[in-house]
């Protein structure tokens, strides 16, 4: 079990920005990863006028802007479009949900649970003090989200019930859908009371057992949940209702502001996934064809074999003072020159901290003062 963390939680938000080497970094929570067209347009405009011209996607389905010249103006703009519904809870609205829920696959549609959970979270003053790293997960049964090991989650089962997931593990407790949000909020409330300096539930000695002791639940046999999904879907996805979802990757999980404006012009909500990709759901076929034709040349990646989907990278220079080099520029050059140092998934890091490293089997390409070294995953 990890030991409790020391020091304050400095996880950035839209109001509590992180002072990076290239200026303030502001992070915006998107419960369930959903962002409406007007909201995306506001983010794109802010990236152009207040930031470095890019919107970065995070591994929790959120977005962030770097080099924000006026954090107060940025916060005001996103509040105006509904992206800052609670100034006291804005850093704790970390809710991951199965991105295709209600459209393709799964045993349940968890989209309404996202909304209810977010509203309940923001309505409870006691939950404003949760750490910014607290994570809620809502898995529709496809197994794409539970493997990300959230603190408090539910996993839809074939019999219509939900498994209660605490610290990434099925507890054996079984819930009706109507009780899921209430139980998750009660679990988080207990953690808020007992956590002391811990940032995650699994850092509290006996944390799962202590949370369960507060809940009067029906128990069954726990099931082993799927492991973390290494990469989300990419390409053209047919929905059973006759519409299309387009799943697109982005080089280094970065969305240029100009491309974001074109996405906003589609006038459909997009879903930001925990794999730093995006979904454009509920498109008619003709519209999906237009999106691919226009936006693929602008940077949306619909080819699941693209080398850009195999390579991730930390922020590097100029955003990080600890980085030895501009790792993204170096990685991009290696891709374009077909000169990658390894096959398969690889993560380029500007220093030994290896920030942003994805889960699973990954080759590390780490910058030293005199160049890069390659660290292959264990055999």
Residue 161's domain is classified under what CATH number?
3.30.413.10
| pLDDT the model gives residue 295 | 97
Cis peptide before 318 (omega within 30 of 0): yes
Final residue of a structural domain among 180, 203, 231: 231
Q: Is residue 60 part of a domain?
A: yes
* pLDDT, average across residues 343-352: 94
Write the CB contacts of 192 (distance below 8 Å, at least 6 apart in sequence).
126, 127, 129, 130
Q: What's the chain's average pLDDT?
A: 94
Average pLDDT, integer, range 147-164: 96
For the whole model, what pTM was predicted?
A: 0.94
Number of domains in the chain: 3
Percent of the chain with pLDDT over 90: 91
Same domain, 68 and 15: yes
Q: Are 53 and 71 in the same domain?
A: yes
Position 361 in a domain = yes
Q: Which two tokens stand for residue 325?
A: 């080099």
Q: Distance (Å, rounded) from C-alpha 162 to C-alpha 368?
A: 47
pLDDT at 7: 53
Residue 240 and residue 222 share a domain = no
Measured N-to-C along each axis, helices 71-80 and 37-49 cross at an angle, to the nearest 10 degrees, of: 160
- Domain end, chosen from 216, 231, 246, is at 231
Q: Are residues 295 and 320 in the same domain?
A: no
Whether 44 and 84 share a structural domain: yes
CATH number at residue 25: 3.90.480.10
Domain shared by 131 and 223, yes or no: yes
Whether the per-residue pLDDT at 205 is higher than 70: the answer is: yes
Is 95 part of any domain?
A: no
Q: Is residue 263 part of a domain?
A: yes
- The answer to the question of residue 344 being in a domain is yes
Q: Are 74 and 133 contained in the same domain?
A: no
What percent of the chain clears pLDDT 70, i.e. is strictly above it? 98
Where among 200, 231, 262 does a domain terminate? 231
259 and 355 belong to one structural domain: no
Contact 336, 329 (CB under 8 A): no
Rounded average pLDDT over 363-376 = 94
pLDDT at 5: 53
Least confident range from 8-12, 66-70, 143-147, 189-193: namely: 8-12
24 plus 108 within the same structural domain:
no
- Pull the structure tokens for residue 163: 């498994």
Inform me whether the pLDDT recorded for 94 exceeds 60.
yes
> What does the pLDDT average to over 347-375?
93
Q: List pLDDT tens digits, range 356-366.
A: 888 888 999 99
Are 192 and 216 members of one domain? Answer: yes
The pLDDT, as a whole number, for residue 230 is: 87
pLDDT range class, residue 70, cuts 50, 70, 90:
very high
Domain presence at residue 136:
yes
- Asked if the model's pLDDT at residue 1 lies above 80, the reply is no
Residue 74 lies in a domain: yes
- Angle at which helices 257-265 and 285-295 cross, to 10°: 160
Residue whose C-alpha is closest to residue 356's, from 368, 347, 366? 347
Q: Is residue 4 part of a domain?
A: no
| Model pLDDT, residue 3 | 47
Per residue in 96-139, pLDDT (tens digit) is 999 999 999 999 999 999 999 999 999 999 999 999 999 999 99
Using one digit for the tens of pLDDT, what is the confidence trace for 231-258? 899 999 999 999 999 999 999 999 999 9
> 147 and 227: one domain?
yes
pLDDT tops 60 at residue 317: yes
Residue 8's pLDDT band (cuts 50, 70, 90): low
* Domain shared by 226 and 107, yes or no: yes
- H-type helices in the chain, by residue range? 37-49, 71-80, 111-123, 180-194, 207-213, 257-265, 285-295, 327-336
Q: What letter would DSSP give residue 268?
A: S
Structural domain boundaries, residue 325: 310-375
């Amino acid at each position: 079990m990890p030991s409790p963390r020391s020091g304050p939680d400095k996880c950035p938000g839209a109001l509590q920005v992180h002072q990076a080497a290239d200026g303030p970094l502001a992070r915006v929570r998107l419960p369930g990863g959903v962002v409406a067209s007007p909201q995306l347009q506001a983010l794109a405009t802010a990236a152009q006028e207040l930031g470095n011209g890019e919107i970065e996607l995070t591994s929790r389905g959120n977005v962030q802007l770097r080099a924000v010249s006026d954090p107060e103006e940025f916060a005001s703009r996103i509040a105006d479009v509904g992206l800052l519904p609670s100034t006291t809870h804005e850093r704790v609205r970390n809710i991951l949900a199965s991105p295709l829920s209600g459209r393709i696959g799964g045993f349940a549609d968890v989209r309404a649970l996202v909304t209810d959970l977010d509203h309940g979270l923001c309505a409870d003053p006691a939950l404003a003090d949760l750490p910014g790293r607290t994570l809620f997960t809502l898995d529709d049964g496809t197994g794409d989200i539970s493997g990300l090991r959230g603190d408090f989650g539910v996993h839809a089962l074939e019999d219509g019930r939900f498994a209660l997931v605490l610290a990434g593990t099925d507890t054996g407790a079984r819930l009706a859908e109507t009780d899921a949000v209430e139980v998750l909020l009660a679990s988080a409330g207990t953690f808020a009371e007992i956590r002391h300096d811990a940032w995650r539930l699994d850092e509290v000695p006996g944390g799962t057992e202590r949370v369960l002791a507060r809940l009067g639940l029906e128990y069954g046999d726990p099931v082993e949940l799927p492991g973390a999904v290494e990469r989300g879907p990419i390409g053209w996805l047919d929905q059973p209702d006759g519409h299309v979802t387009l799943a697109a990757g982005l080089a280094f999980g970065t969305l240029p502001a100009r491309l974001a404006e074109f996405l906003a012009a589609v006038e459909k909500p997009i879903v930001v996934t925990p794999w730093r990709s995006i979904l454009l759901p509920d498109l008619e076929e003709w519209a999906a064809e237009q999106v691919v034709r226009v936006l693929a040349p602008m940077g949306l990646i619909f080819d699941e074999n693209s080398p850009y989907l195999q390579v991730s990278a930390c922020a590097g220079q100029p955003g990080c003072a600890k980085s030895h080099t501009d790792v993204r520029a170096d990685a991009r050059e290696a891709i374009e020159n077909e000169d990658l140092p390894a096959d398969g998934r690889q993560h380029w890091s500007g220093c030994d901290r290896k920030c942003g490293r994805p889960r699973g089997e990954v080759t590390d390409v780490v910058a030293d003062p005199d160049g890069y070294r390659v660290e292959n995953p264990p055999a």
